[in-house]
Amino acid sequence: MKKMIEEAFAKHFGGEGILYVAPGRFNLIGEHTDYNGGFVFPGAIDKYIMADIRPNGTDGVVRLYSIDMDASCEFGLNEEDAPKEQWARYVFGVCREIIKRGGVVKGFDAVFAGNVPLGAGLSSSAALESCFANALNDLFNDNRFPRMELAKIGQSTEHNYCGVNCGIMDQFASVHGKKDYIMRLDCRSGEFEYFPIRLDGYKLVLVDSRVKHELVDSPYNKRRESCERVARKLGVETLRDATMDMLNAAKDEISQEDYMRAEYVIGEKERVLDVCDALNRGDLETVGDRMYKTHQGLSKLYEVSCEELDFLNDIAKECGVTGSRIMGGGFGGCTVNLVRDDIYDNFIDTVTSRFKERYGHEPKIYPIVVSDGARRYQE
């Protein structure tokens, strides 16, 4: 990818820039908990966005070329210059959010490309935001923004320029990722810990359904609104502080739908803690059990699954896979699977052929390689 980007940079702008990369992420457990003040357990993966960037000496003209879109875009750094192309809005948003925080962004030229599959729930947009946030921090701000602030710059970009009211998990993971470690982040305090990923006798693998259900009315934001409504009703800041007893005591004042959403979130909070304990003991069977329970909750209570993902989950169970669940926001994309080495090949063959038989196309298989976060590229 490096060579292709450098050639495109030379062709579009002449000469060369500085290369930066930032990865997508996976998440072991703790789904839809980030915006509820809970815990998440993500890691960066070996799929990333790479950008070649060079200040262009102008006061505020940004010129971009996206290799994957085969499209160019030019914008100024003032609010009224927001580009209409979605892919360019991510970069524009990052620039604006840096400026809003008192940082410096001057004109620059950039070419970028990526291999994070789009719409697969692997956070290609967070990778793009983190790549540019880190690069612009390095190029124009002497790296004065701490890493967590870079993640927040990406998150605010989603909120203010892309209409997604996301939590902090994706940008956090893309910025903080570390090879061979997953991270447990407390989304309320912002504290986090690195856990070495020890999977003796097991593998983690993503199975990508390659379906993306574009649902009207922004269902992600609606889920978040439900949680916030219940938290207000229970008099807590976020559902992190709610218990099933509190929820049941207020049952009559909460819609059936909101009740289900909150029931999932409260259950997920427990499951994440169980998984931490189990990981400390090296008990991967319990980790897997909780992953299946999370899938059930995401499918039946939070209602962010779809037929294809439920099917993938069923096949995993039939094959004796230790743990399997929807990963990320939902409504399509991948399942994350914890698979014993001895059944791995059989699982991959079975899930590939059964899915194809049913839906006419093969799922994509991505073995998880836990990788480093946003950085200046080095060979």
Interface contacts to ligand GLA, rule CB under 6 A: 31-32, 34-35, 166-167, 169-170, 328-329
Which residue's CB is nearer to ligand GLA, number 67 or number 166?
A: 166
SS3 assignment, position 176: helix
C-alpha 226/C-alpha 221 separation (Å) is 9
Per-residue buried b or exposed e for 204-239, using 16+ beta carbons within 10 Å of the residue's own CB: bbbbbbbbebeeeeebbeebbebbbebbebbeeebb
- Report d(CA 241, CA 239) in Å as an integer: 5
Nearer to ligand GLA, 288 or 333 (CB): 333
Task: Give dist(CA 133, CA 145) in Å, integer.
Answer: 9
Q: What minimum distance in Å lies between the beta carbon of 92 and ligand GLA?
A: 19
What is the closest distance, in whole angstroms, from the C-beta atom of residue 356 to ligand GLA in the complex? 27
Closest CB to ligand GLA among residues 138, 237: 237
Query: Parallel, antiparallel, or unpaired for β 61-66 and 108-114?
Result: parallel
Whole-number minimum distance, CB 142 to ligand GLA, in Å?
29
Closest CB to ligand GLA among residues 77, 173: 173
DSSP-based three-state secondary structure for 371: strand
Contacts of 292 (CB under 8 A, 6+ apart): 313, 317, 323, 324, 325
Which residues share a beta bridge with 340?
202
CB closer to ligand GLA out of 128 and 139: 128
Q: Give the number of C-alpha atoms closer than 13 A to the C-alpha of residue 70, restricted to the C-beta side.
A: 0
Q: Which residues are the active-site residues? A: 170
Q: Smallest distance from the beta carbon of 129 to ligand GLA, in angstroms?
A: 11
* Pairing of the two strands 42-55 and 18-27: antiparallel
Whether residue 187 contacts residue 37, with contact meaning beta carbons closer than 8 Å, is answered with yes
Please report, in angstroms and rounded to a whole number, the separation of the first and last CA atoms in the chain: 12
CB of 336 to ligand GLA, least distance (A): 12
